[in-house]
């Protein structure tokens, strides 16, 4: 990709976008394709999945059989570069030493950010998810409704390519005809769970993921996505023509050299660059948004990592898309006489109400899946099926002791063996070794299952981040300190997950590896562990009780937008990335309109 | 216990393992344990990790990135144990044939905290194996017959039926088995053995074949 050094950047841009993942990629794409001059700042290095993805490499070609290490937290072949639970020289801190109150923060420093490795699960928020307070009196309503976002869900799904079906479940919106790609066939274990899940009322259906199960029809889609903009249409058709359909091998977390999965680096950034309106500056660590005497943003101050020097870039508007935590950190570090508490923080709510997804798992084994005839179960490099939340009615009627729902994810089957494989089924072997061990491995491989709950967390006063008063990163920038505490809403939900998973194993004639947790507090994963952290600059209809408005724009500074998950006023069980992209596109449209009107 | 090398020995480790090994220790046992404990006495690992931005396309082999640890004797014991845990049969080679012991050496030599946690247990366990084989059969583990090796492993393998005096050794065995499986089933030969038939590009994904659906009652 054509990239820049600090010396070659233009003196001024229409928009500077901070971050190049789902939010930054979408922002840069929409703005550049529609004619704005954009500079994108990325804190990490440039990255090209087409040449760098280890597509078919086997674990025995990697150090330690590709096992996880503190250099590669997701395993050697995971696409994460310069990141993970820790980034060298760039710490974050926890206010509590209690392990149950810690927050984990997955960051990375590379072009495309976390879109390179994410699970690609792309579920729409439903109507309830934008008005949760109206339904049960907890948390906050968004200042927008599903109908406001629906057109952007359509557009994002068409642009990035999402497979799935319209099942018509409550609060799981339908995509219009011609938007979704056909889902892959379910694997043996997914079909088996689907069949037997019915006995206990758990519906298992095709999931939605951003993987091309067939090639995109750019000639049909481009005019819908860029009406009246033939130049953008031509560029998009060319970009879609360069993407291949899934080749049904290798896990998406490695990234995809044939561009079959959505990654910002293969889907958003190439057409945006081809428009001639986008410059990308890697190794540029944003520190703060600069402000003029009238409280208007003038650009971004960043550290050029190659030289360690501080630079400035000027722009008419700033879009923060660094990931919710990093965007909050930039706002808090943007202190001035006008904004001594940090930018856009007159409400005092920057950093408040951070949320993750509620996560818990239960493992088990299903004898019916033993010794199946050999067949290829790689599939689309991730989940094919899921169980959408199915108990809205019971919950609304007060029959459950927790207020919000969860969906179930599981990846079944005969996936590529990796380091630690024996942990999956070794517990079934009674300590065998020798020939019997080899026979046990053939028998039990692929017969184990791990159900993972992904639930809605309600924002609470105990979960927030702030600037650490003393700790700075290696660039001298103050770091975030996290406060975290799960509420009973979440731990009770986890208890229900555990009971459900045990019942699923029972329905399939299987057995659990360990009994379901009697107390949800013992099974709930740490905050941040699911890597769905959102909030910290929540949107609302009142500047006193929110940081951003219905357009993801900060109330205090009219030319600063926050395009990542920070404006989320709630965190539905649905994985946040699709919604981040839809809101980023919507915010970019608003920014373009404001610039055209001369308001910015 | 005194020997010319005693000051370099990790005596506490040697004694701990010997006490769990046998109530009456032979002379061979004492010397063997001392010698092995000295060799292993847990030298810190050397070298650096591969960093946060390694070349993902390169082909790496044990020893490429950081120095390995095993002495000839430890390597012989590890190879022999690999072959007992995953022996050759008509479907695939043994873990020793595939040099899984070199992977285990790479693992315990790695400059990473999680892997380094395995280092003392594996090195002490290998020393214990030799000591135990000498005590019972007057030879190192690698030189013992399959029947003799099996006699020792039978005392360690099933975590639910381990006599108290073999508790530490059994933990070593369990962990060694896990590592052997990691090393073996991540090779092409191991993948073929276990029945993994993916990692090849396909024009379409057709789901499970009819034979699978029939077996699952999902036709």
Over the stretch A63-83, which tens digit does the pLDDT of each residue have?
999 999 999 999 999 999 999
Cβ pair A65:B195 closer than 8 A? no
Which pLDDT belongs to residue A513? 97
Q: Three-state DSSP class for A359? A: strand
Query: What is the bridge-based pairing of β-strands A297-304 and A284-291?
Result: antiparallel
Kindly report the nearest CA distance between residue A366 and chain B, in angstroms.
11
Q: What is the mean pLDDT of residues A114-137?
A: 97
pLDDT tens digits along A308-362? 999 999 999 999 999 999 999 999 999 999 999 999 999 999 999 999 999 999 9
Asked whether residue B55 is assigned to any structural domain, the reply reads: no
Top pLDDT among B17 and A572 is at: A572
Cβ pair B196:A414 closer than 8 A? yes
Cβ pair A433:B89 closer than 8 A? no
Asked whether residue B213 is assigned to any structural domain, the reply reads: no
Contact with chain A for residue B60, Cβ under 8 A: yes
Q: What is the C-alpha to C-alpha distance for residues A273 and A156, in angstroms, rounded to an integer?
A: 18
Asked whether residue B183 is assigned to any structural domain, the reply reads: yes
List of chain A residues whose C-beta atoms are within 8 Å of the C-beta of residue B115: 64, 67, 69
What is Dmax (Cα atoms) for chain A? 78
Asked whether residue B50 is assigned to any structural domain, the reply reads: no
Which pLDDT belongs to residue A7? 62
Cβ pair B201:A416 closer than 8 A? no
The residue behind tokens 């694997």 is A187
Which pLDDT belongs to residue A1? 57
Q: What is the C-alpha to C-alpha distance for residues A512 and A501, in angstroms, rounded to an integer?
A: 9
pLDDT tier for residue B193 given thresholds of 50, 70 and 90: very high
Mean pLDDT of chain A: 97
Asked whether residue B73 is assigned to any structural domain, the reply reads: yes
What is Dmax (Cα atoms) for chain B? 74
Cβ pair A188:B208 closer than 8 A? yes
Q: For the purposes of burial, counting CB atoms within 10 Å of the CB of B59, is it exposed (0-12), middle (13-18) or buried (19 or more)?
A: exposed
Question: Could you give phi then psi for residue A100, rounded to 5 degrees?
Answer: -75, -10
Contact with chain A for residue B172, Cβ under 8 A: no
Q: What is the mean pLDDT of residues A113-126?
A: 97
**DSSP character at residue A245:** P
Report whether pLDDT(B6) > 80.
no
Kindly compute the dihedral angle of the four CA atoms of residues A341, A347, A352, A356, in this order, to the nearest 10 degrees.
Answer: -130
Q: What is the C-alpha to C-alpha distance for residues A179 and A80, in angstroms, rounded to an integer?
A: 30
Q: What is the mean pLDDT of residues A496-519?
A: 98
Which pLDDT belongs to residue A9? 78
Asked whether residue B184 is assigned to any structural domain, the reply reads: yes
Q: What is the mean pLDDT of residues A214-234?
A: 98
Across the interface, of A374, A416, A442, the residue whose CB is closest to B199 is: A416
pLDDT tens digits along A10-46? 889 999 999 999 999 999 999 999 999 999 999 999 9
B residues 141-160 lying closer than 8 A (beta carbon) to A? 150, 153, 157-160
Cβ pair A442:B194 closer than 8 A? yes
Contact with chain A for residue B164, Cβ under 8 A: no
Contact with chain A for residue B15, Cβ under 8 A: no
Number of structural domains (chain B) is: 1
Report whether pLDDT(B195) > 80.
yes
Report whether pLDDT(B147) > 70.
yes
Report whether pLDDT(B8) > 80.
no
Which pLDDT belongs to residue A412? 75
Q: Number of H helices and number of E strands within chain A?
A: 15, 20
Cβ pair B218:A446 closer than 8 A? no
Q: What is the mean pLDDT of residues A132-149?
A: 98
Q: Mean pLDDT lowest for which of A264-268, A383-387, A524-528, B32-36?
A: B32-36
Cβ pair A249:B206 closer than 8 A? no
Q: What is the mean pLDDT of residues A149-154?
A: 98
User: In this predicted complex, what is the ipTM?
Assistant: 0.95
Q: What is the mean pLDDT of residues A451-480?
A: 98
Which pLDDT belongs to residue B13? 55
Asked whether residue B134 is assigned to any structural domain, the reply reads: yes
Report whether pLDDT(B17) > 70.
no
Cβ pair B186:A58 closer than 8 A? yes
Q: What is the mean pLDDT of residues A570-584?
A: 98
Structure tokens at A532: 């769905």
Q: Counting one residue from A and one from B, how many pairs have CB atoms under 8 Å apart?
A: 219
Domain with B108 in it: 6-42+66-201
pLDDT tier for residue B32 given thresholds of 50, 70 and 90: very low
The residue behind tokens 């079959």 is A260
Cβ pair A431:B57 closer than 8 A? no
Query: What contacts B40, CB < 8 A, 6 or more positions away?
Result: B74, B120, B123, B124, B126, B127
Helices (H), chain B: 11-21, 27-40, 72-85, 100-108, 113-116, 119-137, 146-154, 167-185, 188-194, 210-215
Neighbours of A348 (CB within 10 A): 11
Q: What is the C-alpha to C-alpha distance for residues A587 and A215, in angstroms, rounded to an integer?
A: 29
Cβ pair B150:A434 closer than 8 A? yes
Q: What pTM value is reported for the model? A: 0.94
List of chain A residues whose C-beta atoms are within 8 Å of the C-beta of residue B49: 69-71
pLDDT tier for residue B33 given thresholds of 50, 70 and 90: very low
Query: What is the bridge-based pairing of β-strands A464-472 and A278-281?
Result: unpaired
Contact with chain A for residue B2, Cβ under 8 A: no
Which pLDDT belongs to residue B16? 57
Q: What is the mean pLDDT of residues B120-141?
A: 97
Q: Mean pLDDT lowest for which of A265-269, B42-46, B167-171?
A: B42-46
Report whether pLDDT(B30) > 60.
no
> Phi/psi zone of residue A51: left (φ > 0), alpha (ψ -120 to 50 degrees), beta?
alpha
Sign of CA dihedral A137, A139, A145, A151: negative
Asked whether residue B99 is assigned to any structural domain, the reply reads: yes
Report whether pLDDT(B46) > 90.
no
**DSSP character at residue A415:** P
Cβ pair A191:B208 closer than 8 A? yes
Contact with chain A for residue B133, Cβ under 8 A: no
Q: Mean pLDDT lowest for which of B16-20, B110-114, B159-163?
A: B16-20
Structure tokens at A329: 């950190």
Q: Select the residue from B205, B213, B215, B218 to test the A interface by mutation, using most A Cβ atoms within 10 A.
A: B205
Which pLDDT belongs to residue B24? 34
């Amino acid at each position: 990709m054509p990239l820049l050094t600090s010396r070659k950047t233009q003196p001024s841009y229409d928009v500077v976008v901070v971050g190049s993942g789902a939010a930054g990629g979408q922002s840069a794409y929409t703005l550049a394709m529609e004619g704005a001059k954009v500079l994108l700042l990325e804190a990490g290095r440039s990255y090209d999945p087409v040449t760098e993805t280890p597509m078919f490499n086997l674990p025995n070609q990697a150090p330690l059989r590709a096992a996880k290490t503190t250099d590669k937290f997701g395993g050697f072949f995971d696409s994460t570069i310069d990141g993970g639970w820790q980034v060298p020289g760039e710490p974050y801190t926890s206010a509590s030493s209690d392990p149950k109150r810690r927050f984990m923060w997955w960051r990375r420093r590379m072009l495309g950010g976390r879109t390179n490795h994410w699970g690609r699960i792309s579920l729409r928020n439903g109507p309830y998810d934008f008005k949760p307070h109206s339904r049960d009196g907890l948390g906050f309503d968004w200042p927008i409704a599903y109908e406001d976002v629906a057109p952007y869900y359509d557009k994002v799904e068409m642009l990035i390519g999402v497979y799935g079906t319209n099942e018509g479940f409550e609060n799981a919106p339908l995509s219009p005809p011609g938007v979704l790609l056909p889902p892959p066939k379910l694997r043996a274990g997914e079909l088996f769970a689907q069949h037997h899940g019915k006995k206990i009322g758990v519906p298992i259906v095709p999931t939605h993921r951003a993987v091309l199960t067939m090639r995109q029809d750019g000639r049909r889609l481009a005019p819908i996505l860029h009406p009246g903009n033939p130049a953008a249409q031509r560029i998009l058709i060319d970009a879609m023509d360069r993407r291949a359909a899934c080749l049904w091998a290798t896990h998406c977390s490695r990234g995809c050299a044939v561009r079959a999965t959505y990654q910002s680096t293969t889907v958003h950034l190439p057409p945006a660059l081809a428009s001639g309106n986008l410059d990308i500056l890697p190794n540029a660590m944003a520190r703060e948004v600069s402000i003029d005497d009238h409280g208007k943003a003038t650009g971004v101050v960043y550290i050029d990592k190659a030289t360690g020097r501080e630079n400035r870039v000027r722009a008419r508007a700033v879009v923060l898309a660094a990931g919710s935590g990093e965007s909050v950190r930039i706002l808090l570090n943007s202190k001035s006489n006008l904004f001594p508490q940090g930018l856009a923080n007159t409400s005092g709510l920057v950093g408040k109400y951070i949320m993750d997804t509620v996560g818990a798992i239960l493992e088990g084994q299903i004898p019916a899946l033993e010794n199946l005839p050999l067949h290829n179960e790689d599939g689309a490099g991730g989940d094919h099926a899921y169980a959408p939340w199915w108990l809205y009615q019971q919950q609304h009627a007060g029959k459950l002791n927790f207020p919000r729902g969860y969906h179930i994810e599981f990846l079944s089957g005969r996936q590529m063996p990796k380091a630690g494989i024996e942990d999956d089924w070794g517990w079934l072997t009674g300590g065998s070794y020798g020939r019997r061990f080899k026979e046990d491995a053939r028998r039990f491989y692929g017969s184990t299952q791990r159900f993972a709950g992904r639930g809605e967390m309600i924002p609470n006063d105990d979960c927030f981040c702030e600037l650490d008063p003393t700790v700075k990163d290696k660039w001298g920038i103050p770091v975030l300190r996290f406060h975290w505490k799960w509420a009973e809403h979440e731990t009770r939900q986890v208890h229900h997950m555990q009971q459900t998973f045990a019942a699923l194993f029972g329905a399939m004639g299987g057995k659990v590896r360990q009994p379901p947790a009697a107390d949800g507090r013992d099974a709930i994963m740490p905050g941040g562990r699911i890597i769905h952290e959102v909030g910290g600059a929540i949107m609302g209809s009142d500047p006193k009780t929110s940081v951003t408005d219905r357009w993801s724009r900060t109330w205090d500074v009219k030319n600063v937008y926050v395009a990542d998950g920070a404006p989320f006023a709630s965190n539905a069980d649905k994985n946040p990335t699709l919604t981040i992209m839809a809101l980023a596109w919507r915010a970019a449209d608003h920014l373009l309109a404001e610039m055209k009107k001369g308001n910015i | 216990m005194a020997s010319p090398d005693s000051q370099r020995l990790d005596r506490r480790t040697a004694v701990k393992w010997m006490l769990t090994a046998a109530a009456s220790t032979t002379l061979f046992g004492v010397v063997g344990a001392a010698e092995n404990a000295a060799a292993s006495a847990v030298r810190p690992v050397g070298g650096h990790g591969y960093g946060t931005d390694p070349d993902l396309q390169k082909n790496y082999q044990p020893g490429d990135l950081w120095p390995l640890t095993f002495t000839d004797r430890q390597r012989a014991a590890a190879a022999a144990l690999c072959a007992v845990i995953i022996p050759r049969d008509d479907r695939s080679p043994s873990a020793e044939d595939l040099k899984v012991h070199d992977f285990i050496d790479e693992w315990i030599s790695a400059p990473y905290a999680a892997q380094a946690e395995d280092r003392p247990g594996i090195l002490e366990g290998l020393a214990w194996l030799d000591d135990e084989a000498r005590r019972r059969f007057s030879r190192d583990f690698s030189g013992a017959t399959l029947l003799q090796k099996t006699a020792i492993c039978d005392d360690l393998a099933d975590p639910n039926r381990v006599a108290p005096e073999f508790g530490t050794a059994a933990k070593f065995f369990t962990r060694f088995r896990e590592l052997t499986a990691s090393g073996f089933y991540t090779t092409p030969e191991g993948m073929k053995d276990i029945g993994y038939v993916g990692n090849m590009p396909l024009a379409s994904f057709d789901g499970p074949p009819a034979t699978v659906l029939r077996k699952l009652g999902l036709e």
